[in-house]
Structure 1
Amino acid sequence: MIFRQLFDSVSGTYSYLLASRAGGEALILDPVIEKVDRYCQLLRELDLKLVKAVDTHLHADHITGLGELRDRTHCVTIMGEQSKADVVAMRVADGDRVMIEGLGLDVMYTPGHTDDSYSYLMGDRVFTGDTLLIRGTGRTDFQNGSARAQYDSIFNRLLKLPEETMVFPAHDYKGDTVSTIGEEKRYNPRLQVRSVDEYIELMGNLNLPNPKLMDVVVPANMHVGLHQDDLAKQGLSLSAREGIESLGRPDILLVDLRENSERAKHGVLPGALHAPYPTIGESLKSGGMLREVAAATGRRIVFFCAFGERSAMAVAAAKDAGLANTAHIAGGMDAWKKAGGPVLTG
């Protein structure tokens, strides 16, 4: 396995690059925008293809690198379903699994620092975001934080993991790089409490100043979505209502870009062809499935995904590949369901 822990000294942020092999797919956790050049250089050096970028929560001390990495690498951006970010390509919930070639991360909802805080468990290590830090815990006094929820996340979820599980947080300000669940149980001063009420009192008396750039960073991190309006102006976008009205038309081919796990969880659209987004490049090449279908039938390909991010990138990829007769459904399955469109489940 390829594992790299990367550090931003300005914000004290750790980012993590994961892959199962050289030449394979990669995932990055909690990227910082100022470090995107470094990430891209490392991806080239290790011969990796970034396919997913994950934020453990909406950060208040640095601007996320999700949007910039998406624009540069066409990766899928991921956050928890509670996130206030305007659009990310995939939203996950407790119990889900984030997959790349050769690796899987189990999704754990661990609110408290914020109401959209998640941890990600991968075998012998857990990426705890700002929920559990090394010899500390994330503050709980803004962004719908809750000391009570954090106590539950730590004591009833994270500390139930095997004691040898390595802890990799999203931040450290003292130079520590890794801990274990066992170490934190024994030596983390904030965890030496006898009750949830004692923990709430402890967290309520920290009196910490707000992060210096919070008023700039949080709004910026809430707006990482692609500008889907641009596609609409170019006539390359259907509203959910227009998509619903196109069902059954012989000149339209709906193409579902979501992963199997999303389709199983959220349902599928009647008559849609499944072409997962990671394979879009191959599908659009000469001899590729989508190119051949478009050539053989003359139908307009209309991409859709969960929220419109992947489908917007697919339209751009199709244009680059010389396939002009495409569009996407703005807002994806989320907008489709809100508009009352039919969905097949089970």
Structure 2
Amino acid sequence: MIFRQLFDSTSSTYTYLLASRHGGEALIIDPVLDRVDRYLKLIEELDLRLVKAVDTHLHADHITGLGALRDHTKCITVMGEQSGVDVVSMRVGDGDRLSIEGMSLGVIYTPGHTDDSYCFTLADRVFTGDTLLIRGTGRCDFQNGSARAQYESIFNRLLRLPDETLVFPAHDYKGDSVSTIAEERAHNPRLQVKSVEEYEALMAGLKLANPKMMDVAVPANMRQGLHQEEVAKRGWAVDARAAQAMLGRRDVVLVDLRERGERERHGCIPGALHAPYPGLMESLAPGGMLFELANATGKRLVFFCAFGERSAMAVQAAQDAGLRDACHVEGGMGAWKKVVEMGE
């Protein structure tokens, strides 16, 4: 396994790059915008292909690198389903799996620091975001935080992991880089409480100043879905209502870019062709399934995904491959379901 722990000294943020092998697919957790060039250089040096960029929660102390990495690499951006971010490519929920080639991470919903906080498990380690820090815990006094929810997340979820599980947080302010569940249970001063009420009182008494970048970072991090606007301006988008009118037409094929787990959890569109996004470029190359389908039959490719980000990137790639009739469904399955629910 390839594993790199990267540090941004300005915000004291840890970013994690993971892959199962050289030359394979990679995933990055909690990237910082100011460090994106460094990540891209490292990804190139390790001969990796970034396919997913993940934020454990909506950050208030730095601007995320999700959007920049998406624009540079066409990767899938991932956050929790509770996040207030306008658009990301994929939203995960408790119990989901977050997978790339040769690697699958467990998804644990751990609200408390924020109401959209998640942790991710992988074999012998857990990436805890701001929920559980080394000898500390994330603050709970803004962004819909809750000390009671955080207590439940830590004591009833994270501390039930095996004692030897390595703890990799999103931040550290003292120079520590890794701990274990057993260490934190024994030595983390904020976990030496006897009840949730005692934990609430402890957290309420911290009186912490707001992060220096909070007023800039939070609004910036809530606005990630810019790619669809650019695609729509080029006339390569249809709304969900128009897409539903295309059902059954012989000159159109709806192409579902979501992963199998998303389809199982959120449903499918009858008759849609399943072509997961990670294999898109190969499929759109001469000889690839989608390229040959469009050229041999003259069918119009209409891409869709969960919220429209992957399909927006897909239609750009299709246009670049010479498939000029390709378009995508704005807002993806999220918009599709709204139209169905409204009975339109």
User: Do these two structures clear the TM 0.5 threshold for a shared fold by scoring above it?
Assistant: yes
Match in the other structure for 1:329: 329
Q: Could you tell me how far apart the structure 2 residues matched to 1:248 and 1:231 are?
A: 25
In structure 2, what residue type is equivalent to 1:167? V
Moved over 6 A (4+): none
Does structure 1 residue 257 correspond to structure 2 residue 257? yes
Given that residues 79 and 88 in structure 1 are in contact (C-alpha distance below 8 angstroms), is that contact kept between their aligned partners in structure 2?
Answer: yes
CA shift for structure 1 position 140: 0.1
Report the alpha carbon displacement of residue 270 of structure 1 after superposing the two structures with TM. Answer: 1.2
Q: Give, in whole Å, the separation in 2 of the partners of 1:147 and 1:275.
A: 42
Residues in 2 aligned to 1:45 and 1:320: alpha-carbon distance in whole angstroms = 27
Deviation at 1:233, TM superposition (A): 2.6
Alpha-carbon contact 1:58-1:83 (below 8 Å) kept: yes
Letter in structure 2 aligned against 1:340: V
2-structure distance, mates of 1:200, 1:136: 14
Deviation at 1:226, TM superposition (A): 2.8
Amino acid at match of 1:111: P
1: distance between equivalents of 2:230 and 2:7? 35
Aligned to 2:340, the other structure's residue is in SS state coil
Q: Where does 1:265-276 land on structure 2 (aligned, <5 Å)?
A: 265-276=265-276
Contact in 2 for aligned 1:8/1:32 (Cα 8 Å): yes
- TM, length-normalised to structure 2: 0.98
Where does 1:1-346 land on structure 2 (aligned, <5 Å)? Answer: 1-340=1-340
Q: What amino acid maps onto 1:58 in structure 2?
A: L
Distance 1:123 1:290 in 2: 36
Measured in 1, the distance between the counterparts of 2:234 and 2:42 equals 36
2:35 alignment partner AA:
K
Distance in 2 between the 1:207 and 1:46 partners? 43
Structure 1: distance between partners of 2:119 and 2:310: 24
Matches of 1:237 and 1:158 in 2, distance apart? 43
Tell me the distance in 2 between the aligned counterparts of 1:330 and 1:19: 31
Q: How far is 1:59 from its partner?
A: 0.1
Task: Mark the runs of 5 or more structure 2 residues left unpaired by the alignment.
Answer: none
Unmatched 5+ residue regions in structure 1? none
Q: Percent identity?
A: 71
What SS is found at the alignment partner of 2:175? coil
Q: Please give the per-residue CA displacement for 1:4-36, whole angstroms capped at 9, x wherever unaligned.
A: 000000000000000000000000000000000
Distance 1:57 1:230 in 2: 26
Post-superposition shift, 1:58? 0.1
Give the whole-Å Cα distance in 2 for the aligned partners of 1:7 and 1:273. 41
User: Aligned with 1:339: secondary structure?
Assistant: helix
Aligned partners of 1:226 and 1:312: how far apart in 2? Answer: 10
- Cα RMSD over matched residues? 1.0
Instruction: Provide the C-alpha distance between the structure 1 equivalents of 2:185 and 2:276, rounded to a whole number of angstroms.
Output: 42
Deviations 1:88-107 (A, max 9, x none): 00000000000001111000
Equivalent residues of 2:227, 2:313 under 8 A apart = no
Q: Structure 1 CA distance, aligned partners of 2:341 and 2:100? A: 30
Q: Distance between the aligned counterparts of 2:256 and 2:192, measured in 1?
A: 49
- Kept in 2: contact 1:244–1:341 (CA 8 A): no
Secondary structure of residue in 1 paired with 2:112: coil
d(CA) in 2 for partners of 1:102 and 1:138? 31
Partners of 2:89 and 2:309 within 8 A in 1: yes
Conserved 8 A contact 2:227-2:309? no
AA of the residue aligned to 2:195: S
* Counterpart code for 1:215: D
Cα distance, 1:181–1:66 mapped onto 2, change above 3 Å? same
- Is the Cα–Cα contact under 8 Å of residues 28 and 54 in structure 2 kept in the other structure? yes
For 1:87 and 1:142, the matched residues in 2 are separated by 22
Instruction: State the 1:341 CA deviation.
Output: 7.2
Assess if the C-alpha contact under 8 Å between 1:119 and 1:127 holds in 2: yes
The CA distance in 2 between the partners of 1:104 and 1:272, in whole Å, is 26
Count of residue pairs the alignment pairs up: 342
TM-score between the two structures when normalised by the length of structure 1: 0.98
**CA offsets, 1:189-240, max 9 Å, x none?**
0000011000000000000000011011000000011332332232210100
Task: Work out the CA distance in 2 between the residues paired with 1:286 and 1:54.
Answer: 31
Letter in 2 for 1:138: G
SS at match of 1:69: helix
Per-residue CA shift, 1:86-139, capped at 9, x if unaligned?
000000000000000111100000000000000000010000000000000000
- Partners of 1:245 and 1:148 in 2: CA distance: 47
For 1:228 and 1:159, the matched residues in 2 are separated by: 41
